C-alpha cells in the first residue's frame, strides 16, 4: 500500500474511483447521479487544491482518496457547488435527482437545526475520505489521514472539521480514533435517505496540534 499525492495522469482513474469508493455507505449515492455528485464532492478538490488530495494505491490501482481543503472560506461553498451542478447537469430534468430535491424541499421546512457547512474560524480546513471496500480495515485510511495531518502542519496546523452522518458508525469511529470530536447539533440532512430512513449530519472537529 502506497500513499502519495496526485499526478495529472491519475485524473480518469480518480474520477472513476470517486463514484465507487463510497460503496455500501449511506453517501454511496446522494441524489442518484454520480457525475454531478462528483462535481460537488470531488472534482473541485482535484482542480482547485490538488496539493491537498492524497491517494492510496494497492496492486497498481487507486483504492482510496482523501480530498482536503485547508481554507474552506476561500473555497466555493457546498451550496455554490451544488447550484452549479444542478445547472450544469440539468438535474431538474432527471428523475432521481428531481425526487431527491423535491424530498429535500419538504424536509427543509421541518423545525429544528439545519444541515450545512461549518463556518467557524477555529476550524478552517475540512476533508472527505473514501476507500473502496477492499481497502477498508487495512490501515490505508490511517495512512491517508497521517498525510493530511502533515499537510495541515505544513500550512500552519489550523483546526479541521469534517461532516459525516450519525448513521455511518464505522466512519464516526474511525474519525474519533483519528482525534476528531463531535461539534454542534446533528440536524436532518434534507432529501437523503439510507435504507429508507432519514439521516443526520454529524459535524466533527479536530483542534490544531
Ligand X SMILES: CC(C)(COP(=O)(O)OP(=O)(O)OC[C@H]1O[C@@H](n2cnc3c(N)ncnc32)[C@H](O)[C@@H]1OP(=O)(O)O)[C@@H](O)C(=O)NCCC(=O)NCCS
Among 53, 56, 125, 129, binds ligand X (CB under 6 A): 129
Residue holding cell 450519525?
166
CB of 90 to ligand X, least distance (A): 27
DSSP for residue 120: -
Residues 43-82 vs ligand X: string with x where CB under 6 A? Answer: ----------------------------------------
* β-bridge partners, 202: 164
CA-CA distance, 34 to 30, in Å (whole number)?
8
Neighbours of 67 (CB within 10 A): 26
For residue 208, state whether it binds ligand X (rule: CB under 6 A): no
CB of 111 to ligand X, least distance (A): 26
Q: Which stretch binds ligand X (CB under 6 A): 72-80, 95-103, 106-114, 134-142?
A: 134-142
Alpha-carbon distance values, 155 to 18, 23, 71, 92, 151 (Å): 26, 32, 10, 40, 6
For residue 141, state whether it binds ligand X (rule: CB under 6 A): yes
Alpha-carbon distance values, 165 to 31, 134, 143, 171 (Å): 16, 22, 22, 8
Within positions 11 to 40, which residues make up the interface with ligand X, using CB under 6 A? 22, 25, 27
* β-bridge partners, 182: 204
CB of 50 to ligand X, least distance (A): 20
For ligand X, the closer of residues 22 and 124 by Cβ is: 22
Residue holding cell 474520477?
15
Name the site residues for ligand X (rule: CB under 6 A). Answer: 22, 25, 27, 129-131, 136-139, 141-142, 164, 168, 170-171, 174, 177
Amino acid at each position: 500500500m502506497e500513499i502519495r499525492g496526485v499526478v495529472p495522469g491519475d485524473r480518469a482513474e480518480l474520477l472513476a474511483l470517486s463514484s465507487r469508493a463510497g460503496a455500501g455507505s449511506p453517501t454511496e449515492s446522494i441524489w442518484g447521479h454520480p457525475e454531478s455528485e462528483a462535481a460537488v464532492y470531488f472534482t473541485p478538490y482535484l482542480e482547485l487544491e490538488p496539493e491537498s488530495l492524497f491517494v492510496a494505491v494497492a496492486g497498481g490501482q487507486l483504492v482510496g482518496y482523501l480530498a482536503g481543503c485547508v481554507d474552506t472560506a476561500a473555497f466555493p461553498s457546498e451550496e455554490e457547488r451544488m447550484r452549479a451542478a444542478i445547472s450544469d447537469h440539468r438535474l431538474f430534468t432527471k428523475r432521481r435527482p428531481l425526487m431527491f430535491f423535491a424530498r429535500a424541499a419538504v424536509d427543509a421546512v421541518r423545525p429544528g437545526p439545519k444541515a450545512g457547512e461549518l463556518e467557524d474560524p477555529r476550524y478552517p480546513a475540512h476533508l472527505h475520505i473514501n476507500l473502496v471496500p477492499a481497502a477498508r480495515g487495512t490501515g490505508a485510511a490511517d495512512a491517508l489521514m497521517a498525510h493530511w495531518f502533515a499537510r495541515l502542519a505544513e500550512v500552519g496546523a489550523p483546526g479541521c472539521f469534517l461532516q459525516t452522518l450519525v448513521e455511518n458508525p464505522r466512519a464516526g469511529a474511525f474519525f474519533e480514533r483519528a482525534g476528531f470530536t463531535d461539534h454542534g447539533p446533528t440536524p436532518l440532512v434534507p432529501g437523503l435517505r439510507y435504507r429508507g430512513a432519514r439521516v443526520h449530519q454529524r459535524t466533527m472537529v479536530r483542534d490544531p496540534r
